[in-house]
Structure 1
Amino acid sequence: MRKRESIAQLAEHALRLAQVGEFEGAAAFFEQAIALDAGNLDLRYNLAVVEENLGHIGKAASLLIQVLQRKPASPFAAASQLSRLFTRYRVDDGAVLTAAGLSTALQTRDVALQPITEAGLQWLSTQNADWRDGIRRIASGEKSELEAGRAILGKLRHLGRAEHEMLCLCLREGIVKSIDNERLLTGVRAAILLDGGRTLFDDRDHFNLALALMVQGWNNDFAWAETSQETDAISALEIERAALLAADMPTTRAFLCAALYRPLEEIVSPPLGVDDMRVLKPKSFRETLSAQILERADRDAAAKSIPAVGALSDATSLKVARQYEASPYPRWKTVQRSAPGALQRYLGRLMPADCFAFMDKECDVLIAGCGTGQQALMSATAHGPKARLLAIDISRASLAYAGVMAAREKVTNVSFVQADILDVARLERRFDLIYCVGVLHHMADWRAGWRALLSCLKPSGLMNIGLYSATARQGLRDLRDHPDYPGAGCTDSAARIYRRSLLLRDDGTAASYVKQSRDFYALNTFRDLVLHESEATVTIEEIAQFLDDEGLVFRGFALDANVLQEFATLFPAAAPAGTLADWAAFELLKPHTFDGMYYFWVERQDKPAAE
C-alpha cells in the first residue's frame, strides 16, 4: 500500500512541476516513480512528453516505443504523440526504435500514420543490413534496381517476423516518401513481375509483401515508373475474368502481378465488383481487394448525392475541375485529430483573444476548395461540435472522397457542396471563419476569388489563406521552361516518365526543388505540384497591397516554431505576428522559407458606417 501511495505522490509532484514548466524536476520525479513501478505505461508516456519538452527527442521516442511495444489496451495517446514527434523531428538513432513498437503505432486508429510510416522505413534502411546494402548498391551503380530487388526477395526471411510485419504495414498505411526506398522497392516490384510471381503462393512473406506493394500502388496513385521490359511483361499477362472468379491460381497470380502496376478497373472487363469478392481466393487477397472495391463503390454512391450550387462556367474552373475529377487530390488515409482548445491556444500566440472568441460558441466555418476533405475533417475536429462547417469544391470526385472519409471518421459537423468560389454568394450564408488554402492561385484571377469569399465573411471574421510564393517556386518555373516538360495535360504514363527523369537528376539542378517536396511521391500530388492546369504565384508585396485595399489585417504566418524564433531574433521589435514588410525582408534572406506556400491568417476590420 505504501509503495502505491509513494508512486502516486511522485507522479503527482511530477505532473505539478510539468504544468508550470519545471521539466527537469518533473523528469526526475517520473524516473523515481518508474523505478518503483517499471510496468506502469502511463508513467513512461508522461515522461516521454516531459523529455520532448526538454529537447531530448531520442529519449522521448524511445519511451513512447516502449509503451507501444508492450501493447497497451489503449495505444492512441502514445501513437498520436509519436506521430506528432516524427512530424517535427527526425530520429536518427535507430537503437531507440523497435519494429514491434512501430507496428503497434501503425495499427492504431485516428492517428496520422504517414510520419510513422516514414520513420519505420527510415529505421529499416539503417538497421537492416540487407536493406541498407541494396540501397547502397543502387545508389553507387553496382546493381540495377531489379538486381537489388531480387536480392531483397531472396533474403526476405532475414528480416524477421516483426520487421516484415512493420514493412508491410508501412506500405499499406502510408506513402513511401524516400527516393532510396522507392528505388529499392521499385526493384522488388519488378522482380515479382518479371519472375512471373512464381514464389507468391509458395512463400507467405513474398505473398504478404506483394499484397502490401499492391496497396502502396493505390496509395501513391501508381507513381513509380516502369521499364519497357515491365510494360511488355504486363501486356503478356493472361487474365481471364471467369478464371479469376473460379479461383484459378495462375490467373490469380497474374492478376496480382498486374495490380502492382495498374488500377483494378483496368485489369479485367468489366471491373471486379462487390458481388465478385466472395469467390476470390486466397482469403488475404480477397480481403485486400474487397477493401478497395468497397471504397470505390462508396465513392460512386456518394458522388450521386452531393448537392450543387450553380453550374461551373468559368473556363479556368472547368479546366481545373477536369484535372481533379481524373486525379482527386490528395489521396489520404488518416487524419490527425486536434486536442480540444489546441487551435485557440495556437491562435493566442498570434493575435488577441477577442479575434477568435467566436470559436467558444456556435459558429459558421467555410472550407473553400476542400479537395478530398483532409483539411475539412481536421478543422471539424479542431473546432468541435459547436461549429457548423461547409466544405465546397469544384470536383465532384474529390467531394465524394471527402464524404466517404467523413463517414468513416464519424465526423458529423461538416457538409459538402459542389460549388465554384466565384459562385459562393449563391450559398446565401455568412461565415465567421473561412479557410482557403492552396486554391486561389489555381483560379484565373486570385484577387477575384478572394474578393468573392470576402462577400460572405462576417464583420470581424477571420480568414486562413494559402498562396504560392513567387520566390520559393522559381525552381518550378525553370522546369516548365525546359524542353522536356511534358505539359499539364500529359498522360499518366508521360507523367511517370517525367517524374522518373527528375528523380534521377543530380541535386543542385532545378529538379531539386520538386524532389524535396512531400508532394513528389504520389502521382496525384505530383500533378498538383508540377503539372497543374492553372497556377499563379504571388509576392508578399502583392498580398500586402490586397490586404490594404480590402481592409484586412495581417495576423501572422503559420510556420514551424524554429522559423518563427529565427524571425523574432532578426526582427526583435516586431509584434508576435510580425509585419509583412519584415517578412518580405526575411524571405530575401531565407528564400525557401515559404516552399510550401504563404500560409497565413487575416482579420476583417470593416470601417464603421459614416454618421
Structure 2
Amino acid sequence: MSSRKMQSRPFEDALFAQAFAYHRAGQMSEAEAGYRQVLAANPRHSGALGFLGILAHQLGHSADGIDLLKKAIASEKRNAELHYNLARVLAECGREQEAIRHNRKALELQPDYPGAHNNLAALLFLSGQGAEALKTAMQGLQLGITPDLKSTFVTVLRSLDPLSTKFDRSAVQFLSRALVEAWCRPRDISRGVCVLLVQMPAFKRSLERSLTPGSSRLNDLFSSDERASIAADGLLHALLVACPVTDIALERVLTATRAALLDEVSKGELEALDVWLPLSAAIAQQCHINEYVFDLSDREESQILSLRDSIVGTLDAGGTVSPIQIAVLASYVPLHSLTGADRLAQVGWPDVLQPVIKQQILEWAEEQEIRERIEELTAVEDSVSEKVRDQYEENPYPRWTRIPVDKEAMPIDQYLRAQMPGAPYQAIGDRPISVLIAGCGTGMHAIQRAQQFKNADVLAIDLSLSSLSYAARKTQELGLKNIRYARADILAFKPDMMFDVIDSSGVLHHLGDPLEGWRNLASLLRPGGLMHIGLYSAIARKNINVARDVLAKEGRGYSVAEVRRLRAQAANLPHDGQQMAVTEFGDFFSTSECRDLLFHVQEHQFSIPQIAAFLAEAGFKFLGFQTPYRSRYLKRFPDDTAAANLDNWHLFETENPATFTEMYQFWIQKT
C-alpha cells in the first residue's frame, strides 16, 4: 500500500463518518453530498457506495440504489452487511428470490449477522416456504431472542398446517417460552402447541387408552415415566395455564384424566395422589380459563357434589383439606363458589396450588371490589342490548391471561404507515390523542391500544360489569394508568367530548341496529379522525350459519350444560360435515366463546359492498384491511399498491372465502 493511500484513508473515513451521521439524522441532501465526496476520493469505497444505494432507494430511486449496492459488493465481495442491505432493498421492491439469495450469502459470510435470520425467515415465509422459514427463525432464536424474531416465529407458526409440520426439540423449547413470556397472544399458537403435544408418544398412548372402555384409571392413562416425560419440557403446563386447549384429541385426554383423578379422590386414597398434584392443578387452571366447558358424566356430577360437601364440612369442622382435593374440585367448579371460600385463601398450600387459589378466589374477590367502583355513563335500555349484556355478565368474553407488550409506544401516524403502507392517509401528528374503545369486553384490546399508541388517553366502555371488572383488574395488574373504564351502551352514548381514534372491533354486529350504532360513533369522531372496525363476514361464516340453523331448528338453548352437550356431540361427528367444521374454530373451546360462536342472542353479518356503501354515506375514506392475506391480494391486484380498493377486495374474498374468517378488521378516516 502506497504512502499516499495510507494518508488518504483517515480523510475518507472522516468524510464517510460525517455523511453517515447526516444520513441517520435524516439530512438526505447533505448525506448524498458527503457520500459522493468519499467516492470522488475513492470510487471503490464500499461503505459510500452501499449507503448511497440505500439513500437512493429511500428517495424513490430503487433501481439506482440496487445498482450502487451491487457495485459495493463487487468492491468488497465478502462484506455480509452489503449483502444484507441489498437483500432488504430487493425485498421492498418485490424481488423476493434475489433477496433470499443475498440474505443467504450474508449468513454464509457471517452466520450470526444481526437481523439476517429474521429477514430471511420473513422472505421465505412470503415466498411460500413456511417450513424453511420456521427452521430459519429458530436458528436465529438459538443465537439470540429478539423482538423481531419472536414475532416472525409466531407469524410463521400460525400460518403452517400443524398436522403436516414436523417439530423438533427446539420448537418445544421456543413454544414453551412463547407461552410463558407472551411472545404473542397465547391463543394464537394454541393449535400448533396442541398438535405438537398429541404427536408425542406419551399422549398418543394416553389418547388410545382414553378411548378404550375400562381404561379409565390414572395409571391406565399415564405411566409414571410418561408423566415425567410430559412434565420435563413444561410445554403442557405452559399451555394449560395460558389459554384454552384448542384440539379435540388433547381435550379428550384431559377430560379423561380429570375424571380419573376425581374417581381416585372419591375413593379416599389421597396420599398416593400427591404425585399427580402438579398436573391436577394445571388442569384446574385450564378449566377455569375455558369456563368449565369440558363435558362430564352423571357419575362425575354426583361425585363432585359429594366432594364439595366433604370439603365444606371439613372446613366448618376446622379440619385439614388435602391439596389434591382442592385441585380436583377446582377443575369442575370455581373455588369462589364454595361457602367460606375465603378460608381456603388463608391456608399455606403447596406452591403448585397457589396459582389456583389466586386465580379462583383472590382475583375473583378483587373483581367484585372493582365492580362497585365502575362508573355508569348511560343506562342500558335497548332490549337487544339488555340481552347481550346478560350474556356477557354470565360469561365475560374472552377470559385471557397474557398479551404481548409492544416494544415501544409509537405515534398513531407511524403505526398506520407500518400497518398499511401506501394507504391514502392524512397524518394526525405526534400529539396526545383521545381514544374510545367502544365495546371493550374483558380489556385485551383496550390494553393493547393503550400500549401501542404514544400519548394515548383511553376511555373503554362496555355493557357488562363482569367484563369491565375483569378488564380493570388486568389493567391494574399491568400497571397501566392511561385507561379509564365505564359502563355504557353505544346506542345511547353521547359524551361531551370528541375523539381522535375510535376502535370498535367485534361489537357493532351484536347491536339491534349496527348501522345506527356506527353512525353514533361516527358523530363522536373529530374530522380527520381514525376509526378501526371489526365486523363479521357473511361469506366467511357460512359453516357457522349452517350449524346455527341446525341448532335453531332443534330448539337448542345456550345454557352452560347445553353448550357442553352440544360440544360433546359435535366432537364425535365425522370430519366431512359442515357441522363438524365448527370444531376447527378456536372459539369452540371455551364456554363464553362457544356461546358467542353458535348461540349469540344477536348477530348481524356483512359484505364488503355493504361496508363500502356505509363509508360513502357517512363520509369515510377506506385505508385498508388488517389481514395476513394482504400479500396474496397484492399479487392478485398488483396495480392497487395501497390495497385499498374495496371492489377488488370483494372479488378477492369471493375467490378466497376464508380471507376474513376472524372478521373484517379495517381502518377508515373521517373526511
Give your verdict on TM over 0.5.
Answer: yes
Partner SS for 1:193 = helix
Q: Which residue number corresponds to residue 185 of structure 1?
A: 254
Instruction: Give 1:601's aligned amino acid.
Output: W
Q: 1:454 to 1:526 in 2, by over 3 A?
A: same
Instruction: Give 1:243's aligned amino acid.
Output: T
- Deviation of 1:349 after TM superposition, in Å, equals 2.0
Counterpart CA distance in 2 for 1:350 and 1:488 is: 48
Q: Does 1:352 align with 2:424?
A: yes
Counterpart CA distance in 2 for 1:214 and 1:175 is: 12
Instruction: Give 1:596's aligned amino acid.
Output: E
Q: Does 1:114 align with 2:187?
A: yes
Matches within 5 A, 1:226-265: 226-237=296-307, 238-241=309-312, 243-244=314-315, 252-265=323-336
Gapped regions of structure 1 (runs ≥ 5): 1-8, 35-41, 606-611
Q: Which residue number corresponds to residue 564 of structure 1?
A: 630
Say which is worse superposed, 484-493 or 414-423, in terms of deviation: 484-493
- Deviation of 1:533 after TM superposition, in Å, equals 1.3
Q: Which residue number corresponds to residue 320 of structure 1?
A: 388
Deviations 1:174-231 (A, max 9, x none): 2211111111211111111123376764355521000000000011111111122222
CA contact (8 A) 1:149 1:186 kept: no
- Deviation of 1:547 after TM superposition, in Å, equals 1.9
Q: Which residue number corresponds to residue 42 of structure 2?
A: none
Q: 1:430 to 1:65 in 2, by over 3 A?
A: same
- What percent identity do the matched residue pairs reach? 28
Deviations 1:329-377 (A, max 9, x none): 01111112334457333344251342xx225322222111111111111
Matches within 5 A, 1:432-471: 432-471=500-539
Partner SS for 1:366 = strand
Counterpart CA distance in 1 for 2:316 and 2:139 is: 45
Matches within 5 A, 1:584-599: 584-599=650-665
Q: Does 1:216 align with 2:289?
A: no
- Deviation of 1:328 after TM superposition, in Å, equals 0.5
CA contact (8 A) 1:51 1:59 kept: yes
Counterpart CA distance in 1 for 2:318 and 2:150 is: 39
Counterpart CA distance in 1 for 2:102 and 2:116 is: 13
Q: Does 1:517 align with 2:585?
A: yes
CA contact (8 A) 2:344 2:357 kept: no
Q: Which residue number corresponds to residue 609 of structure 1?
A: none
Q: Which residue number corresponds to residue 375 of structure 2?
A: 307
Q: 1:255 to 1:86 in 2, by over 3 A?
A: same
Instruction: Give 1:589's aligned amino acid.
Output: E
Q: Which residue number corresponds to residue 4 of structure 2?
A: none
CA contact (8 A) 1:222 1:262 kept: yes
Counterpart CA distance in 2 for 1:392 and 1:572 is: 40
Gapped regions of structure 2 (runs ≥ 5): 1-77, 92-98
Counterpart CA distance in 2 for 1:46 and 1:539 is: 41
Partner SS for 2:452 = helix
CA contact (8 A) 1:554 1:603 kept: yes
Q: 1:191 to 1:319 in 2, by over 3 A?
A: same
Q: 1:337 to 1:449 in 2, by over 3 A?
A: same
Partner SS for 1:433 = strand
CA contact (8 A) 1:316 1:534 kept: yes
- Deviation of 1:316 after TM superposition, in Å, equals 1.0
Matches within 5 A, 1:32-111: 32-34=109-111, 47-55=117-125, 57-58=130-131, 61-62=134-135, 79=150, 82-90=153-161, 92-95=165-168, 97-108=170-181, 111=184
CA contact (8 A) 1:68 1:102 kept: no
Instruction: Give 1:218's aligned amino acid.
Output: H
Partner SS for 1:358 = coil
Q: Which residue number corresponds to residue 603 of structure 1?
A: 669
Say which is worse superposed, 459-468 or 79-88, in terms of deviation: 79-88
- Deviation of 1:301 after TM superposition, in Å, equals 1.7
Q: 1:456 to 1:593 in 2, by over 3 A?
A: same
Q: Does 1:549 align with 2:617?
A: yes
Counterpart CA distance in 1 for 2:369 and 2:627 is: 38
Q: 1:571 to 1:45 in 2, by over 3 A?
A: closer
Deviations 1:100-150 (A, max 9, x none): 444344332675333455433322222x21312334566xx6x25964975
Q: What TM-score comes out, normalization by structure 1 length?
A: 0.84
Q: 1:389 to 1:145 in 2, by over 3 A?
A: farther
Counterpart CA distance in 2 for 1:14 and 1:413 is: 44
- Deviation of 1:545 after TM superposition, in Å, equals 2.1
Counterpart CA distance in 2 for 1:485 and 1:43 is: 61
Matches within 5 A, 1:271-282: 272-273=341-342, 276-282=344-350
Counterpart CA distance in 1 for 2:633 and 2:433 is: 33
- Deviation of 1:530 after TM superposition, in Å, equals 0.9
Counterpart CA distance in 2 for 1:182 and 1:359 is: 49
Deviations 1:525-564 (A, max 9, x none): 111111111112223232222222222222222221xx33
Partner SS for 1:365 = strand
Q: Which residue number corresponds to residue 44 of structure 2?
A: none
Partner SS for 2:376 = coil
Partner SS for 2:651 = helix
CA contact (8 A) 2:398 2:592 kept: yes
CA contact (8 A) 2:147 2:407 kept: no
Q: 1:351 to 1:156 in 2, by over 3 A?
A: same
Counterpart CA distance in 2 for 1:347 and 1:78 is: 18
Partner SS for 1:556 = strand
CA contact (8 A) 1:69 1:101 kept: no
Instruction: Give 1:557's aligned amino acid.
Output: F
Counterpart CA distance in 2 for 1:31 and 1:594 is: 39
Q: Does 1:123 align with 2:189?
A: no
Instruction: Give 2:605's aligned amino acid.
Output: T
Q: 1:519 to 1:117 in 2, by over 3 A?
A: closer
Q: 1:437 to 1:131 in 2, by over 3 A?
A: same
Counterpart CA distance in 1 for 2:418 and 2:311 is: 57
Instruction: Give 2:496's aligned amino acid.
Output: E
Partner SS for 2:545 = helix
Partner SS for 1:107 = helix
CA contact (8 A) 2:626 2:665 kept: yes
- Deviation of 1:504 after TM superposition, in Å, equals 1.8
Q: 1:243 to 1:95 in 2, by over 3 A?
A: same
CA contact (8 A) 2:117 2:137 kept: no
Matches within 5 A, 1:197-208: 201-202=271-272, 205-208=275-278
- Deviation of 1:81 after TM superposition, in Å, equals 5.0
Q: Does 1:393 align with 2:462?
A: yes
Counterpart CA distance in 1 for 2:357 and 2:347 is: 12
Counterpart CA distance in 2 for 1:236 and 1:600 is: 52
CA contact (8 A) 1:125 1:181 kept: yes
CA contact (8 A) 1:303 1:397 kept: yes
Q: Which residue number corresponds to residue 548 of structure 2?
A: 480
CA contact (8 A) 2:191 2:246 kept: yes
The one of 465, 485, 489 aligned to 1:416: 485
Q: Which residue number corresponds to residue 343 of structure 1?
A: 415
Instruction: Give 1:174's aligned amino acid.
Output: C
Partner SS for 2:405 = coil
Q: Which residue number corresponds to residue 5 of structure 1?
A: none
Instruction: Give 1:255's aligned amino acid.
Output: I
Q: How many residues align?
A: 575
Q: What TM-score comes out, normalization by structure 2 length?
A: 0.77
Partner SS for 2:375 = coil
Instruction: Give 1:195's aligned amino acid.
Output: E
